Structure 1
Amino acid sequence: VYPDLKEIPAKVDLCIVVVPAVYVIPVIEDCGEKGVSSAVVITAGFKETGKKGAELESKLAKIAKDLGVRILGPNVLGIIDTHSNLNASFAPTYPPSGNIAFISQSGALGCAVLDQCRGEGVGLSKFISLGNKMDLDEVDFISYLKDDPQTKVILGYLESIERGKEFIRVAKKVVKEKPIIMIKSGRSKAGRKAASSHTGALSGADEAYDVAFKEIGIIRAKTLTEAFEMARGFSSQPVPGGDRVLLLTNAGGAGIMATDACEDYSLNLTSLTEDSVKKLKEKLPPASSISNPLDILGDADPDRYRLALDTVLQDPNLDAIILLLTPQTTTNPEGVAKVIDELTKKKEKTILSCFMGGEMVNPAISILNKAKVPNYKEPEAAVRVLRNMINYRFIRERKEEKVEFFQVNKTDAERILKEEMEKGHFEVGGVNALKVMSAYGIPTVDNYLVRTPEEAVQVARKISGPVVMKIESPAIIHKSDIGGVKLNVSVDQVKRSFNQIMENAERFLHGDDEIVGISIQPMLKEGKEVLIGAIRDITFGYLIRFGMGGKYVELFRDFSTKIVPLTPSKVEEMINETRIISRLLKGFRDEGPSDINLVRDSLLRLSQLVQDISWIEEIEANPLVVWEKGGVIIDARIRIRKEG
């Protein structure tokens, strides 16, 4: 025992700090003097306790950075490496050695995970408690685990991500090598931010994580049980070579449940080759169902399972097999498990099992676990895991695509927005919002801003046809709701309509709320109404949205969201992910297709706009009216960051 760190004669690689919070900084200063490059600060009492703790943590961060000491923590459970027998934690249990790395932002949850791993025999390569993430965080550790030879699967529990864009960049590289399965807590509406448009109102902090994880290829689990189910599949079985799946069962009910789950998860229940069917018909009982599911009947013994499994393992039409078993009177679960162990050792197909039951199947499940054939209590769980394993194959093979850039008038767009800011306007709508869109080559309707009835009549005569009249005010979002829109107005109705709209707006507005004027546009022919918009997420940057537009946005909630920047393939995904508007744009019943190319182009240009002008907080065009050829934005709104 040494009185302090500096007295240790040998080189120190890692310092584990468990002193009271007020003494942590002197210890880290000793680390710097001693040449210790890394420290695990288990000590609590920092920013998680309030303002004083946050100030202490900020001071600690600066000193550690100046000294070149990297810190995990503070306020962590610690770190465990089972392959080097390192236990730098105060966890009450030590997990078995394995190939799953677990990262946790919650120390208490980490204790539960470690206990569960020990109880269920799930092996971990690393356990990392992140704590306050003052220095090292999830970005650093997933980057490290990418090249860790003892880790095959990365599993994590996160409550927040601070370095969102860096997380996306690093995680995209990691998933090409190893699957990342993540639980992200905080799915409630409490984290939703106030917003001034449909785009903002439909978004929320949790949605941003969903979108980002999908963009990266991270598998998001809703529960700890679901996460470990998937981790066991990835850690013990090869990723399927394709999506062709066979169900092998001794119970019709279990086979039906698995079939329903396969349909829910869009798995391809493929047909066996003629050769396989012939072999099975020759050797299985006549009552067997030689199809998919392959039902070998309730009296199936280990020899019948051997015959069936050996045949289908050699079938070139299959990529994966789910083996189902229920413990009936003549069933020998342990014998069947031994057959599975023997036959699957040298096969490349993905094998998952579902031995349903309790005491009668538990010894068999132990055999399967040792054979690295993961077992699931219910068919739905096995199917869900297999679906995610198949998805991961496509994620790993996904190619990066170049971002397209257009010739645009960025100068004009910035000038318009800066002039609005100088006037104290941080909500820009109507004519100026449309001008910004137009500067980026997004087609907009002819729009005229008027401030008097006489100007309105003059503009209407110039248009020479029915017009649309709309109130323009930063304080009025849903114009129709307050009587701020008049459609199909003839020239002789313009003056009266102008006065009615102004009266309706004045009843709605309060105090210093400003009326900019009234916009007048030509009354256009009907088309398909879509919404395109973007909102800045504090973690991941801009989210861009496409969906059904017009007044039914919130009713149908038919939309798709992606992370900026968009690419042509991401735009195609967005359109196809919508349930209703994609079908309408492609042509429905006796209606012809609309100009989808215009929608694609507009989304790509909107993506460039928010990349170029990063002080836009939120932007929305609703609706973009799309015809068989061409289309225009009728209304738009932009919200600017005040510090922009």
Structure 2
Amino acid sequence: MTIRNLDHLFRPSSVAVIGASAKAHSVGATVLRNLLKGPFTGAVMAVNPKYQTLEGIPVYASVKALPQAPDLAVICTPPGTVPRLIAELGERGTKAAIVLTAGLSRTEDGRGRTLATAMLDAAKPYLLRIVGPNCVGILVPGIGLNASFAHTHALPGKLAFVSQSGALTTAVLDWATSKGIGFSHFISMGDGADVDFGDVIDYLASDVGTSAILLYIESIRSARKFMSAARAAARNKPVVVVKAGRVAEGARAAASHTGALAGADDVYEAAIRRAGMLRVASTDELFNAVETLARARPEMGENLVIMTNGGGAGVMATDALIQGGGKLASLSEQTITRLRESLPATASLDNPVDIVGDAPVERYVTALQALMDDPGTGAVLFIHAPTAIVPSIEIATAVLPIVRQSSRNVFTSWLGGDSVEPARRLFHEAGVPTYDTPEQAVRAFLQVVDYRRNQELLMETPPSVPQHFTPDTATAAAVIKAAQAEGRTILNEPESKIILAAYGIPVVEARIARTADEAAWIATELGLPVALKILSPDITHKSDVGGVSLNLGAAEEVRLAAKMMEQRLRALQPGSRLSGFTVQRMVPLTSGAVELIVGAATDPVFGPVVLFGHGGTAVEAIADRAIGLPPLNPNLAKELVYRTRVARLLDGYRNRPPANREAINMALVQTSQLVCDLPQVREVDINPLLADEHGVVALDARIVIAPGGGTDHDRLAIKPYPQELEETVVWDGAPVLLRPIRPEDETQYNAFLMALTPQDMHFRFFGTVRQLAHSQLARLTQIDYDREMAFVAIGHDAAGQEHILGTVQAMGDPDNIAAEFAIAVRSGIQGHGLGGVLLTKVIDYCRWRGTVELVGEVLTENERMLTLAKALGFRIQHKQAERGVMRVALTL
């Protein structure tokens, strides 16, 4: 993860246009004019050997001829010239470039490299960062920078827009300008050969001038880098996404357009959800969603109450809510009684509540207050159609104080035009989400619900070591190793079930019979009745070739069924190999048993994913499934189940008892752990997984493995909580737990900081800090363990309550050359060696990780820290004498 030198890209003090031109409507001419005509105050230089001057400024013949090294270069020259220009800019000291030129990925140089690769090779020695190629450029309105060939400037604002599509970039810019929408950054990514979504998101996450990040994504290359940055950013500000390529045809178009492989849409959906972002369907919704999220209050339930003065509008809103997967709130008897006392007999007291078109102001106030007071109300949708009874502005003026005073979220839809515009404007200016139609308001409500759910998923940190079961990894690995030794990549059913059982997933024993006679003998030994299945490495769906027979109650039935299976296989797929048959006892089905599918697959972009859905032979036709990214814990598994239609069957109905949800969730967690632990596993298919009130059992299973090995967690898009780094030490005569920090530590961490003396806070944060905001605390406690590490020392007070005694963190650079550390120990217990324990812990971690050097900044007056650093072997150097800052460094 790197934001190295991105300041030169987004806040340059000087810009050079390479390939500046006088040719009307050319890219070089447009970029130069945009830079000069905007309010950018930095130096603007032009390079082109054909000209002496352009737009009233001197033109230089080459990069070497420039009077100074520009912070940022914009390259508008033909593809073949780009690698050489990048090398020349790097030699001059330039740290950032925007390559507008297209075609670099399709053209090779004389050494067989694509020009894009040659460009990156030229930039690498100088750490020169590149946006593009094949992009429109970037705009930073706050500093007046328009380093693009866009047809218009961007208005200043606090939204950042990042797009892979150049055409969409200019279209959105034009639309936003016409609407008066401003931006902190407007960025066209193009091919993203160097600076990608991960880099830009990471930069914008810490930019104080950006309140929300809007993304148009066609494809992602580095999944872990993207997820790491997105999860960090989403903890601090809304990140809203339009992901193109929802259908197969669109996905193919996106891949051919960007030159990158587009993953399956449901996997992207799972990744966006897990990262705490919000996905919307269009660019219109993109901007509407940002405004909605900004106006919505933090606390909001998921049940909606609809109040309207017209029944038709209420029905339309209800249809939109239910079709969108939302829920109507159930009103309490007390609320219904209040409504009955204040509303006419013609009113509808059920949700949606229709107060009738002749309602005076008082009826609006009374009804809305009653609905606000109902404990089952999550949010209220207030719909008003204009009538001749009372002006809309009078109604708005009367109910607005109720809306302001309530903790409930209120969404409003003032139907109509000029007659309701004053009311709509009043609510808008008051910060109340207001929409033209009920459907738009419902969609906004559902977006907020989705966003809140996704934010909850973001807080989940599954451990690397399972807490609820102990897998027999050695047995599972031995099965895989044996199959690999035979050159097989598909495990048969008994082998697959051995692995599932090793991870605690209940299975029905399956034994292999090589012949029909052996199948009959095994059936008798197991106990009748049995299920018989064909065993072939070439058959994925056994039932498609008549390869499954159930409830065979006699040995002769088994023998006959096996012979008929073999005949059918020869007739339907004569080239298929027959390895034999599997025999297993029939599982007696309870009346409430549901067939599920639990599995895992390997996405080409995001790596392993876990699948849950409605199982059985018609699984593809039913197409009821949800996708999640491992690692999973019980909460994440529960959410995965919740997103399927079959979840309603699992709740039970009529005389059917509910299924054992805990057992289902655990099967998902176990499957997730399996693919996390065993990198050779590429696919897992448990279908059906039978679930009833007693638990679950895998009736059939199939596992696909890679022919070679793999690395432990490298495939995972999200690194799990590294539980293996937890360690208990004895300090000052008492046990102290050293462990990585977790999101739920925020309250304790805040208490720890509040207990520090002003001097200790100054030593830690290099300034006067009284209290950190939630966003700052989130940044310190909700870390991505792939990007950085923070350890806390946990002790107990006299009452046995946990509290943080000290903390140390280290953040590495993108090349893992250097990591910068920061440390703090609770005031009053310093000088007893805890600082040394923590610093040694992070030194050992960085050394294990392969970091070359651990560095830190220490204030000169912080003598205790300087003494500790020297004792542990750090070199101490002056860094900024005027600020009294010392640099300490330890070669690892």
If the TM-score is normalised by the length of the shorter chain, which range does it land in?
0.7 to 0.9
Is the Cα–Cα contact under 8 Å of residues 278 and 450 in structure 2 kept in the other structure?
A: no
Task: State the match for 1:459 in structure 2.
Answer: 522
After superposing the two structures, state which structure 1 stretch, 70-79 or 610-619, moved more. Answer: 610-619
Q: Provide the rounded CA distance (Å) in 2 between the counterparts of 1:349 and 1:596.
A: 31
- Structure 1 counterpart of 2:286, from 227, 232, 252: 227
State yes or no: 1:207 paired with 2:266.
Answer: yes
Residues 21-76 of structure 1: CA deviation (Å, up to 9, x unaligned): 222222222221222211111222222x4677980001111221222101111111
Which residue in 2 is equivalent to 1:21? 79
Call closer, same or farther: CA 1:353–1:630 in 2, change over 3 Å. closer
Equivalent of 1:608, from 673, 684, 688?
A: 673
Q: Distance in 1 between matches of 2:333 and 2:89?
A: 65
Closer, same or farther: CA 626–356 of 1 in aligned 2, 3 Å: closer
* Counterpart in the other structure of 1:113: 172
* Mapped contact 1:239–1:390 kept (Cα < 8 A): no
Looking at structure 1, the residues matched to 693 and 428 of structure 2 have their Cα atoms a distance apart, in angstroms, of 59
Which digits, 9 at most, give the CA deviation of each residue in 1:71-106, with x for residues without a partner? 111111111112221111111122322222111110
Q: 1:445 Cα shift?
A: 1.9
Distance 2:692 2:308 in 1: 53
Matching residue of 2:702: 637
In 2, are the aligned partners of 1:530 and 1:625 still within 8 Å (CA)?
Answer: yes
2:690 paired residue among 625, 629, 633:
625
Pick aligned residue for 1:135 from 179, 184, 194: 194
Between 92-101 and 488-497, the greater mean CA deviation after superposition: 488-497
Cα distance in structure 2, aligned partners of 1:153 and 1:355: 27
> Which SS does the other structure have where 1:230 is aligned?
helix
Greater RCO structure (CA 8 Å; 6+ sep)? 1
- Opposite residue 563 of structure 2, the aligned amino acid is N
Deviation at 1:416, TM superposition (A): 2.2
Query: 386-395 vs 360-369, which deviates more?
Result: 360-369
1:514-553 → structure 2 map (5 Å cutoff): 514-527=577-590, 528=593, 529-553=595-619
- The question of whether the paired residues in 1 share the 8 Å contact of 2:462 and 2:631 is answered with no
Post-superposition shift, 1:637? Answer: 1.1
**Residue pairs, 1:172-211, within 5 angstroms:** 172-190=231-249, 205-211=264-270
Matches within 5 A, 1:210-609: 210-235=269-294, 237-243=295-301, 253-258=312-317, 260-262=319-321, 265-266=326-327, 268=329, 308=365, 324-326=383-385, 352-358=411-417, 375-393=434-452, 395-396=454-455, 399-403=459-463, 405=466, 406-487=469-550, 488-511=552-575, 513-527=576-590, 528=593, 529-580=595-646, 583-584=649-650, 586-609=651-674
Q: Secondary structure at the match of 2:133?
A: coil
Task: Give the direction of change, closer, same or farther, for the CA distance of 1:546–1:74 in structure 2 (3 Å limit).
Answer: same
Q: 1:599 to 1:382 in 2, by over 3 A?
A: closer
Q: After TM superposition, give the deviation of residue 401 of structure 1 in Å.
A: 3.7
Counterpart residue type for residue 497 of structure 1 = A
Deviates more, 1:284-293 or 1:28-37: 284-293
Corresponding residue SS for 1:39:
strand
User: 1 CA distance for matches of 2:371 and 2:557?
Assistant: 79
Q: Deviations over 1:128-170 (max 9, x none)?
A: 1110010111111122222222222211111001122232232
Q: Secondary structure at the match of 1:76?
A: coil
What's the counterpart of residue 200 of structure 1? none
| C-alpha spacing 1:441/1:222, structure 2 compared with 1 (3 Å) | same
Give, in whole Å, the separation in 2 of the partners of 1:338 and 1:118: 32
CA contact (8 A) 1:466 1:491 kept: no
Q: Return 371-380 or 541-550, whichever deviates more.
A: 371-380
**Greater CA drift, 156-165 or 170-179:** 170-179
What amino acid is the match of 2:613?
A: G
How far off is 1:294 after superposition? 8.1
Q: What SS does the aligned partner of 1:415 have?
A: helix
The answer to which of 130-139 and 345-354 deviates more is 345-354
Deviations 1:193-222 (CA, angstroms, capped at 9, x unpaired)? 9xxxxxxxxx97011111222222221111
Q: Contact between 2:381 and 2:411, CA under 8 Å: does it hold in 1?
A: yes
Instruction: Give the 3 Å change call, closer, same or farther, for CA 51–568 of structure 1 in structure 2.
Output: farther
- Structure 1 stretches of 5 or more lacking a match? 194-202
Answer with 624-633 or 182-191: which moved more. 624-633
Contact kept? 2:274, 2:454, Cα under 8 Å: no
Instruction: Quote the residue 1:70 is aligned against.
Output: 129
Match of 1:490, as an amino acid? A
- CA distance in structure 1 between the aligned counterparts of 2:366 and 2:140, rounded to whole angstroms: 38
**Quick one: which of 38, 45, 48 aligns to 2:96?**
38
3-state SS of 2:227 partner = helix
Matched residues in 1 for 2:658 and 2:304: separation? Answer: 36
| Deviation for aligned residue 1:326 | 4.5
Question: Aligned-pair distance for 1:460?
Answer: 2.8
Paired residues, number: 625
Does residue 124 (structure 1) correspond to residue 186 (structure 2)? The answer is no
TM-score (norm 2): 0.62
8 Å CA contact 1:468–1:489 kept in 2: the answer is no
Could you tell which deviates more after superposition, 478-487 or 333-342? 333-342
Structure 1 residues 344, 44: closer, same or farther in 2, change over 3 A? farther
Q: 1:498 to 1:269 in 2, by over 3 A?
A: closer
- Is the 8 Å Cα contact of residues 153 and 180 (structure 1) preserved in structure 2? yes
1:91 counterpart SS class:
coil
Moved more, 363-372 or 249-258: 363-372
Residue 292 of structure 2 aligns with an amino acid whose one-letter code is: G
Q: Find the residue that maps to 1:83 and give its secondary structure.
A: helix
Equivalent position SS for 2:208: coil
CA distance in 1, matches of 2:345, 2:305: 20
Residue 79 of structure 1 aligns to a residue whose secondary structure is strand
Cα distance in 1 for partners of 2:498, 2:344 equals: 75
Q: Secondary structure at the match of 1:402?
A: coil
Q: How far 1:258 sits from its partner (Å)?
A: 3.8
Q: 1:129-168 maps to which residues of 2 (within 5 A)?
A: 129-168=188-227
The Cα of 1:524 is off from its aligned counterpart by: 2.8
**Structure 1 residue aligned with 2:714:** none
The root-mean-square deviation of aligned C-alpha atoms, in Å, is: 4.0
| Structure 1: distance between partners of 2:699 and 2:583 | 11
Query: How far has the Cα of 1:234 moved from its partner?
Result: 2.9
How far apart in 1 are the matches of 2:101 and 2:478? 52
- Residue 478 of structure 1 and its aligned partner are, at CA, apart by 2.0
Q: Which moved more, 1:289-298 or 1:108-117?
A: 289-298
Please name the residue that 2:834 is paired with: none
Secondary structure of the structure 2 residue equivalent to 1:239 = coil
Q: 1 CA distance for matches of 2:215 and 2:666? A: 38
Whether the 8 Å contact between 2:331 and 2:350 is mirrored in structure 1 is no
- In structure 2, which of residues 122, 126, 144 is the aligned counterpart of residue 85 of structure 1? 144
> 1-side partners of 2:221 and 2:631: how far apart?
20
SS of 1:211's equivalent in the other structure is helix
Residue identity opposite 2:609 in structure 1: L
Structure 1, 223-232 or 343-352: larger mean CA deviation? 343-352
Shift in Å at residue 15 of structure 1? 1.6
**Aligned AA for 2:559?**
K
Distance, in Å, in 2 between the alignment partners of 1:592 and 1:272 is 28
2:89 partner letter: C
Once the 2 structures are TM-superposed, how far is the Cα of residue 14 of structure 1 from its aligned partner?
1.7
Matched residues, percent identical?
Answer: 33
* Corresponding residue SS for 2:199: helix
CA distance in 2 between counterparts of 1:468 and 1:307 reads 65
- Would the aligned equivalents of 1:191 and 1:204 in 2 still touch at CA under 8 Å? no
Comparing 411-420 with 606-615, greater Cα deviation is found at 411-420
